[in-house]
Chain A
């Protein structure tokens, strides 16, 4: 089977049993890879109602058919599990080199169940896997863990995904980090690993993934390379990374400001907005960083030699990070963003949710809901850089108020019994840094995607942010476009391709790659069906957990309720009900129960057990 390693690894940590199974071609054809295969497997392996932090919880690291091949942008793997934050389905993907290494080591996916009695790590070397003691690594940060494992195993090319102290202590903001700074960041995956006492997965492989039509892959690559050369946007992206747009986004309304209540042009202003953009931050740049086989290379390594927080080796913050520790907190001090980014990467924390949690605490503090005493003496005023860095460290260490805030804003509001009116969340997870008031479709995506609160999930919202759909505030008739865009994103993500391939200049690049890599026919119609099947599989996982549409919530501020009075988004109020209705109708999900029509599931195929689970009395 071209494009796949052809095997999956199942690890039972409770009993120390490792089992290898072939990857069935039917499973690959129907669910492709990533969270498609992930959702299908977890639906089979996990009982409904399983505790995400308990022994029945299953965690998967799943690649796609393009991962690790010569196809550009094929660097991604997806972490899949039930979220301890939202209580529903969770997937988060990451680039770097870890995903490709899993395939080179002989596996398309690794699924981990059970719980170890003491800290362990999973070592995979060219098709040989073993569970090893990680007692000596427990307490180490993610970069140190990677380095120690490389030294210990005498393998400088070893790739590692590891949790830091935040995941070990099961912070709900925690995530694993691969390659020292790339993260499947969202939804509490670090806590799931921590609960299993799985410190890391270390992988080394020398295998090669065959593709059906290598010449065609090369042709597509050449075409993309030529297109990128002609595109000033791609040039800017390669030079400045995702953080190149930070200043513009803070002013345009794309980045939420002051816990979603502010206006960038008024509260930050053009002079300060650009301070957190790459144009300013890149004075710390040591060298460029690109994920596996990426023609753009949006990353960079930094070094900060002086100031409040010298950092010997750190990374350029992503846009989401600069937004979450910047405009969202009214902070324009660059060293604060660099320091907080560094803490999060080392301790293994999701930068979006950590920044979002601090924004919530700031607004609570401003309104007297949280006192300085409750915040351990920190004067958490808007834009106070010292305070932001201090609180981030407390969250990382789970020290004082950080022990509560380490589990996110929704948890803290519930634990302390106050401040829920200032939460900016979707189903309990902090919102990412693209504002639905600028791209209204994001409101539907954030609220009703089976993985809520994500900017990398499909829909019409991001295209609206970036200029498509001039009538974006007309909320009628969005269903067809919304579902088509969602299905397309499902396929891109599950193929193992990076979403920034949007810069490729070839609208059906993913279908072309998938056909060339697998040898299967992969028309846009095939793509649409596959995407819908994967979407329904994730959705089915949530339905089996008892979640209904009414359980999927979005804090009203992000939808313009009430509307902003000033700035470029003044007066915008999104008809979230209409957007949801349009989407549900087109995708054939019942608005009240969430159940997909049996006919639609039958048509898509591969979901017979879901039909039975949903419709058998």
Chain B
């Protein structure tokens, strides 16, 4: 199946490459999507990723949310605002 991904602001700095359309196996979850698209460099501090938030088709979603063909996923990470 194919899903679209929009990474906002800070979240885009955690992607391996700028991807908008991603091919995933049927039954894949948001956790699987993250595994497929985020950077894996073990030398880097990726702790902030644990605070990521998601919407699927405009509704709040979690890492275990199962994705479907054509879903639109928003991937958010906060920057401390001042």
Contacts and interface: CB of A to CB of B under 8 A. Distances in A.
Interface in A216-264: 227, 230-233, 235-237, 240, 242-249, 251-252, 254
Contacts of B51: 466-468
Contacts of B58: 265-266, 269-270
Contacts of B39: 232
Contacts of B82: 242, 298, 318-320, 455-456, 499-500
Interface residues of A, number: 49
Interface in B30-55: 39, 43-46, 48, 50-51, 53, 55
Contacts of B60: 265, 567-568
Nearest to A231: B45
A465 interface: yes
A177 to B, nearest CB: 16
Interface stretch (A23-31, A273-281, A483-491, A539-547): A273-281
A323 interface: yes
Given A232-B14, A251-B55, A567-B60, A274 B78 contact: no
A279 B53 contact: no
B76 A251 contact: yes
Nearest to A569: B60
What DSSP secondary structure best describes chain A's contact surface? helix
B48 A467 contact: yes
A232 B46 CA distance: 7
B14, B55, B58, B79: which has the most chain A beta carbons within 10 Å?
B79
Contacts of A465: 78
A192 to B, nearest CB: 23
Contact of A248 (B43, B46, B76): B76
Interface in B42-76: 43-46, 48, 50-51, 53, 55, 58, 60, 74, 76
A278 B9 contact: yes
B10 interface: yes
Contacts of A236: 9-10, 12-13, 79
Given A232-B46, A242-B80, A466-B51, 14 more contacts: A236-B13, A240-B9, A240-B10, A240-B79, A243-B81, A244-B10, A245-B9, A245-B78, A245-B79, A251-B55, A254-B78, A318-B82, A455-B81, A466-B48
Across the A-B interface, give the 5 residue pairs with the lowest CB-CB distance, nearest first: A467-B51, A319-B81, A245-B79, A248-B76, A248-B8
